[in-house]
Structure formats: structure tokens, C-alpha cells
Amino acid sequence: MEPKSLKVIYDDLYLTDYPTVSCEMPQRVQSIMRVLAEHYPVVKPSSATDNDLLLVHTQSLVNIVKSDPQLFRVAVAAAGGAILAANLACEQQPSFACVRPPGHHASPDSHWGFCFFNNVAIAVESLLKRRVIGSALILDVDLHFGDGTDNFFSGRREVTVANIQDNYREAFLRHVDEALASNQYDLVAISAGFDRHVEDWGGTLTTEDYFTIGRAVRDFAITKCQGRYFAVLEGGYNVNVLGENALALCQGMDNPVTP
């Protein structure tokens, strides 16, 4: 099934300067949006509800994050962005959710690594629980292992969490293809970290490689899962290159090719 042209999901709440490490700064999403807003329509999500959070997290973790109201407000806005992206994907509407804080290090009962709630896990679990989809592939291309996502879906046969951990460029891209070829899924979610870029911490992938990843997911989704796919921002810390890298991924994901 042919997907529609790409949308970007964003909320000014993501610019909140909540207490976190200095590298996970509001300028990350600001630098991405400066580029993406020129190319794609931007939609604002609703924030996630407690019931959404509790699909993945324990009440005690929710309470810990809630104890800082400013942080909680941003964290539920980020989870809401991923939920909207997942819902749109099921209408053949691909999107890139430009959120912060990131989510893939958040486990059911704990959080670390600049993450608080697991945005992608909440979004995918919400679709599974509502029986909108029966299976999913989560392709995590961040530099770091998405332990939170892996912990939550561990033992669940209907969800494959593919953490691509190879540090050699060609092998990395081959593993992306292998993850996509390995099975049939109802939906593909990209945990889109850009910290593997040659000018970021990982020093492996080029900007063009993010286009290649987006295009591989798009082509797979069109032929194998009724055009259902979306991406959510995870890491990526060099604000000088984040915008062009996110644009490359979006151009790869878009259908037809971005003007």
C-alpha cells in the first residue's frame, strides 16, 4: 500500500530546559526543526495519559518522574508524540516525531541515559494492546544499545527489537537490511538516534546513510507491512549536523521523494 507524504510531529514543550545532562539540550530539537519545518507539515501531538505510560511502566516510575512537574510535562509530551506517530503510521501516514527527552533507555521500572519514559515502546504497545497491529519490528539505529526497549519486549514473540550494534559502516548497513529481511511484521518503528554520525560520538555513519536507512524501511514497509512505519528521535548531540541528518532520514522515508 502506498504511504502518504511525510509529516513531522513536534511540540514547543520539547524546548523546555528541564534538569538533565548538558548535551541533551533544547537546541537539539531546535536545530532539527529549523531544517525540517522548511520541508514538511508539522503536527502537534496530545500528551500521553497515565494509562498510556502504564502500558509499559510501573506506577512507581511514573510517580518518580511526576515528582518533577516540569520534567513530567515534557516527558508525557514526548510519549504523546510517539503515540501520534504510531497511530498515523496505521493510516499509511509516515512521520518523524522530533521529541525530547529520548526514550530507549527507559525500562518498565527504571530510567537512565537522559531517558524517562520509553516513547517508542509505549507507542508500539498501545497499537498491540488495541489490536491495531499483531506484530512489530523496532529498528534501533542509535549508537547506544536500547536496553529499555529490549527489556520491555523481552520474551515477546510478536515484537523484534533489532539493536544494530556494529561499528563498521558497511556491516552496520548490512545488518539493517538483514533485520528488515528477517521476518514479516505489521509495522516498523525506527528508534532514530543520530549519535552514530561521523561528526557525532560514534563516528561511523554518513548523512547519506540515514537516507539509505529511511529508504530501506520505506521500501520494506510498502511491500511487507501495508506502508506502516514511523520514526522517533532518540540520541544525537552535534547540533551542527543533527538537522541535515534528520532531513536525510525523512527524505529516505518520504513518499514520493521530498521536493
List of residues contacting Zn ion (CB under 5 A): 142-144, 193, 195, 235
Q: Taking the complex as a whole, how short is the minimal distance between the CB of residue 201 and Zn ion, in angstroms?
A: 7
Paired strand residues for 96: 8, 231
Residue nearest to Zn ion (CB): 235
Name the residue nearer to Zn ion (CB basis): 114 or 211.
Answer: 114
The answer to whether residues 89 and 51 touch, using CB atoms and an 8 Å cutoff, is no
Q: Cβ contacts of residue 203 below 8 Å, gap of 6+?
A: 196, 197
Closer by beta carbon to Zn ion, 152 or else 237? 237
Q: Which is nearer to Zn ion, 24 or 68 (CB)?
A: 24
The C-alpha cell that represents 230 in the structure block? 514511523
In the complex, the smallest distance separating the C-beta of residue 158 from Zn ion, rounded to whole angstroms, is 26
Q: How far is the CB of 145 from Zn ion (least distance, A)?
A: 9
SS3 state of residue 137 = strand
Amino acid at 77: A
Mapping DSSP to helix (H, G, I), strand (E, B) and coil, where does residue 189 land? strand
Residue 105: strand, helix, or coil: coil
Q: How far is the CB of 236 from Zn ion (least distance, A)?
A: 7
Q: Which residue number, 152 or 185, has a Cβ lying nearer to Zn ion?
A: 152
Least Cα distance to 245 among 188, 195, 191 occurs for 195
Which residues sit opposite 205 in a β-bridge? Answer: 197
Work out how close the CB of 23 gets to Zn ion at its nearest, in angstroms, rounded to a whole number: 10
Task: Pick the closer one to Zn ion by CB: 113 or 227.
Answer: 113
Measured distance CA(171)–CA(229) in Å, rounded: 23
